[in-house]
Amino acid sequence: MNTKNIFASEEEKQSMRIHDLTFDFAKRIVALYRSLRFSNKDDVISKQILKSGTSIGANLYESKYPQSDADYLSKVNIALKEASETEFWLKLLKDSSYITETEADSLIKDCTRIIKILISIVKKVSNRIK
């Protein structure tokens, strides 16, 4: 698969909004899932990371139209939890040698970037609600 044009470059990621970052990350997770399935590697872990890794962006997209600040905060918190779970699966795949260190580190770096942004959003919204 030629991934050169379907994923954002590191330079592009620097200026992307969180919704776009999580969408790009979800595309990378789908590609990882396909790669793991194609190589007949652990079906359970591949399904878990597909669920959590794509759920981050799905929850953020759902948060675009909240019923209240509390609803918005809830969706962002769920996205944060899913990002944390995804980070776990990525580290497990790396340490179990299911994916290369280079692949894992790139995905973990993006996941960490998303987590930091989500933590910042949660703090700001929580302070505003108080």
Q: What is the dihedral of CA 59, 106, 24, 86, to 10 degrees?
A: -20
Q: What pLDDT does 9 receive?
A: 78
Within 10 A of 19 (CB to CB), how many other CB atoms are there? Answer: 13
Q: What pLDDT does 2 receive?
A: 42
- Measured over the CA atoms of residue 127, residue 65, residue 51 and residue 14, the dihedral's sign is negative
Who contacts 63 (Cβ-Cβ below 8 Å, separation ≥6)?
Answer: 71, 72, 75, 76, 79
In the chain, the N- to C-terminal Cα span, in Å, equals 48
d(CA 80, CA 12): 22
Q: What is the dihedral of CA 12, 14, 16, 20, to 10 degrees?
A: 80
CB burial of residue 100 (10 Å; 0-12, 13-18, 19+): exposed
Q: What pLDDT does 42 receive?
A: 67
Query: The whole model's pTM is what?
Result: 0.88
- Measured over the CA atoms of residue 56, residue 61, residue 62 and residue 68, the dihedral's sign is positive
Question: pLDDT 10s digit of each residue in the chain, 130 long?
Answer: 344 567 877 778 777 899 999 999 999 999 999 999 887 766 889 999 999 999 999 999 999 999 999 999 999 999 999 999 999 999 999 999 999 999 999 999 999 999 999 999 999 999 988 7
CA nearest neighbour of 93 among 82, 81, 107? 107
What domains, with CATH codes, occur in the chain?
A: 17-129 (1.20.1440.60)
